[in-house]
Structure 1
Amino acid sequence: MDIEMLYCLAGSSILLLLLYFLASKYLWSKYILLFAFLILNGIYLVWRTIYTLPTVGIVSFIFGLLLLAAEWAGYSQSITFTILSWKPFKRKIIPLYSFRELPTVDVFIATYNEPADLLKRTITACLLMRYPKEKLRVYVCDDGKREEIKKMTESLGAYYIKREDNKHAKAGNLNHAMSVTNGDIIVTMDADMVPKINFLERTLGYFKDDQVTFVQAPQVFYNADPFQYNLFYEERLTNEQDFFMRRLEEGKDRFNSTMYVGSNALFRRTALDKIGGFATGVITEDMATGMLLQTKSQKSVFVNETLAVGLSAETFPDLIKQRDRWCRGNIQVARKWNPLNIKGLSLMQRLLYLDGIHYWFFGVYKMIYLLAPLLFLLFSIYSIQTNFSTLIIFWFPAFLSSLLAFRRMADSKRSVLWSHVYEVTLAPYMAFSVLSEIFLKEKGKFNVTKKGIQNNERSFLWEISLPYIILLVMSVISLLLVCLHVFTPMKIYPNIDMLIINVFWVIYNALAIAIALLITVERPRFRGAERFMVNLAATLSNKQNRGLQIPCTITDMSEHGARIEIKQKDFDTFQFISNNNYLYLSTNTLLGLKLQKHWVTKIKDSYYIGISFLDVNNDQYRSLISALFVESIDIYSNKVYENASVLGAIIGFFHKTKKNPKKLNRKSIRQKTNIPVNIQLIDQSIEGKLVDLSNSGCQLKTRKRIKQQTFSFVMKEKTENDAFVQVQWMRKKGLYYYYGLSFKSDNQSMQEGA
Structure 2
Amino acid sequence: MFGLRAFLWIASGAAAILLLTQPVSVQAQLSLSVTVIAALIVVWMIGRGKLARQLFLALASFSIIRYVYWRVSYTLPPASDPVGLTLGSMLLAAELYCVVILVVSLIVNADPVKRKPQKRLPDDVLPVVDVFVPTYNEDEYILATTVAAARSMDYPKDKLNVWLLDDGGTDQKCNDKDPIKAEAARQRRASLQALCKQMGVIYQTRARNEHAKAGNMNAALAHAKGDIVLVFDADHAPFRAFLQETVGYFLEDPKLFLVQTPHVFLNPDPIEKNLRTFNRMPSENEMFYSLTQRGLDKWDASFFCGSAALLRRSALAETGGFSGVTITEDCETAFELHARGYHSVFVDKPLIAGLQPETFSSFIGQRVRWCQGMLQIMILKNPLFKKGLRPIQKLGYLSSMTFWWFPFPRLVFMLAPLSYILFDVKIFVSNVDEAIAYTLTYMIVNVMLQNYLFGVVRWPWVSELYEYCQGVFLSKAIVSVVLNPRKPTFNVTAKGLTLENDHLSELAWPFFAMYGLLLTGTVVAAYRYIFEPGTGNLMLIVGLWNTFSMLMAGVGLGAVSERKQPDRHPRLTINRTGLLAVNGELARCKIVNVSAGGCAFHVEGDLPSALLEGDATNARLIVDAIGDMTGDGSLPLILLRSDEGDRKLYACEFDTMHPHEYFVLADLMYGDSDALPKFLESRRKHKSIWAGTGQFIWWGIVEPFRAVAYLFKRFSASPSIEEPAPTPEPSTIWLHRLAAKANDGPPSAEHKAQPQKAGASSKSA
Normalised-by-shorter TM-score class = 0.7 to 0.9
Which secondary structure does the structure 2 equivalent of 1:595 belong to?
A: strand
Summarize the alignment of residues 541-690 of structure 1 with structure 2, pairs less than 5 Å apart. 541-543=581-583, 546-547=584-585, 549-566=586-603, 576=612, 578-589=614-625, 591-597=633-639, 599-603=640-644, 605-632=646-673, 633=675, 634-638=677-681, 639-640=683-684, 642=687, 645-649=695-699, 664-665=730-731
The CA distance in 2 between the partners of 1:527 and 1:385, in whole Å, is 54
Residue type of the alignment partner of 2:248:
G
Contact 1:220/1:636 (CA < 8 Å) preserved in 2? no
Structure 2 length normalisation: TM-score?
0.81
| Whole-Å separation in 1 of the counterparts to 2:455 and 2:155 | 34
What is aligned with 1:529? 569
- The reply on whether 1:515 has 2:555 as its aligned counterpart is yes
SS in 2 for 1:154: helix
Give the helix-richer structure, 1 or 2.
Answer: 2
Q: 1:111 pairs with 107, 126, 135, which one?
A: 135
CA contact (8 A) 2:552 2:700 kept: no
Structure 1 SS opposite 2:507: helix
Q: Secondary structure at the match of 2:664?
A: helix
The reply on whether 1:308 has 2:352 as its aligned counterpart is yes
3-state SS of paired residue (2:67): helix
CA pair 15-96 structure 1, distance change in 2 beyond 3 A? same
Q: Does residue 127 in structure 1 map to residue 151 in structure 2?
A: yes
Which residue of structure 1 aligns with residue 293 of structure 2? Answer: 249
Change (3 A) 1:551 1:108: closer
1:371 matches 2:415: yes
RMSD between superposed Cα atoms in Å: 2.9
Aligned partners of 2:290 and 2:348 also within 8 Å:
yes
Contact 1:221-1:312 at 8 Å conserved across structures: yes
Partner of 2:113: 89
Q: Deviations over 1:421-477 (max 9, x none)?
A: 11111111122211222135471121111111122111112x412222122111111
- Tell me which residue corresponds to 2:463: 419
Partners of 2:351 and 2:125 lie apart in 1 by 23
Q: Matched residue pairs, number?
A: 659
Q: Alignment partner for residue 99 of structure 2, among 75, 94, 107?
A: 75
Q: Quick one: which of 35, 39, 44 aligns to 1:20?
A: 44
TM-score after normalising by structure 1: 0.82
Mapped to 1, the partners of 2:664 and 2:637 lie a distance apart of 15
3-state SS of paired residue (1:46): helix
1:158 pairs with 2:182: no
Measure how far apart 1:415 and its partner are. 3.7
Contact 2:36 2:60 in 1 (8 A): no
Instruction: Give the direction of change, closer, same or farther, for the CA distance of 1:89–1:592 in structure 2 (3 Å limit).
Output: closer
One of 357, 360, 364 as aligned partner of 2:404 = 360
The worse-fitting range, judged by mean Cα deviation, of 601-610 and 426-435 is: 601-610
Code of the residue aligned with 1:314 in structure 2: it is E
Counterpart of 1:360 in 2: which secondary structure?
helix
Q: Does the 8 Å contact 1:325/1:446 carry over to 2?
A: yes
**Residues 663 and 506 of structure 1, relative CA distance in 2, 3 Å threshold:** farther
Sort the Cα spacing of 1:354 and 1:623 in 2 relative to 1 into closer, same or farther, 3 A.
same
User: How far has the Cα of 1:220 moved from its partner?
Assistant: 1.5
Within 2, Cα distance between the matches of 1:411 and 1:563?
A: 34
Match of 1:51 in 2: 74
Q: Is this contact kept in 2: 1:232–1:652, CA < 8 A? A: no
- SS of residue in 2 equivalent to 1:97: coil
Shift of 1:532: 2.0
Structure-2 change in CA distance of 1:254 and 1:237 (3 Å): same
Aligned partners of 1:194 and 1:630 also within 8 Å: no
Per the TM alignment, residue 576 of structure 1 is displaced from its structure 2 partner at its CA by 1.5
What CA distance in whole angstroms lies between the structure 2 residues aligned with 1:594 and 1:277? 42
Change (3 A) 1:73 1:99: farther
Alpha-carbon shift at residue 404 of structure 1 (Å): 2.1
Q: Residues 211-610 of structure 1: matches in 2 within 5 Å?
A: 211-410=255-454, 412-441=456-485, 443-461=487-505, 463-488=506-531, 490=532, 494-543=534-583, 546-547=584-585, 549-566=586-603, 576=612, 578-589=614-625, 591-597=633-639, 599-603=640-644, 605-610=646-651
How far has the Cα of 1:581 moved from its partner? 4.5
Per-residue deviation at 1:666? 6.3
Q: Which has the higher contact order (CA 8 A, sep 6+)?
A: 2
The answer (yes or no) to whether the contact 1:175–1:277 under 8 Å persists in 2 is yes
Could you tell me whether the CA contact under 8 Å between 2:33 and 2:437 is conserved in 1? yes
1:214-256 deviation digits (Å, cap 9, x = unpaired): 2111112221111211111112222211111221010001111
How far is the alpha carbon of 1:497 from its aligned partner? 3.9
- CA distance in 1 between partners of 2:159 and 2:324 (Å): 29
In structure 2, the residue matched to 1:204 is: 247
Contact 1:534 1:554 (8 Å CA) reproduced: yes
Mind listing any 5+ residue stretches in structure 1 that lack a counterpart? 671-754
The superposition leaves residues 119-171 of structure 1 with CA deviations (integer Å, 9 ceiling, x where unpaired) of 11110111011111111101011111122122212211110110000110111
2:217 to 170, 174, 178: 174
Deviation at 1:9, TM superposition (A): 5.0
Higher strand share: 1
Equivalent position SS for 2:620: strand
Q: Is the 8 A contact 1:218 1:303 kept in 2?
A: yes
Tell me if structure 2 keeps the 8 A contact 1:364–1:430.
Answer: no
SS in 2 for 1:553: strand
Change (3 A) 1:143 1:619: closer
Amino acid at match of 1:622: F
Tell me, yes or no, if structure 1 residue 41 matches structure 2 residue 64. Answer: yes
Q: 2:389 is matched by which residue type in structure 1? A: L
Whichever of the two has the greater Rg, that structure is 1
- Bigger drift between 368-377 and 579-588 goes to 579-588
Q: Within 1, Cα distance between the matches of 2:402 and 2:26? A: 41
Q: 1:627 to 1:648 in 2, by over 3 A?
A: farther
525-534 or 303-312, which moves further after superposition? 525-534
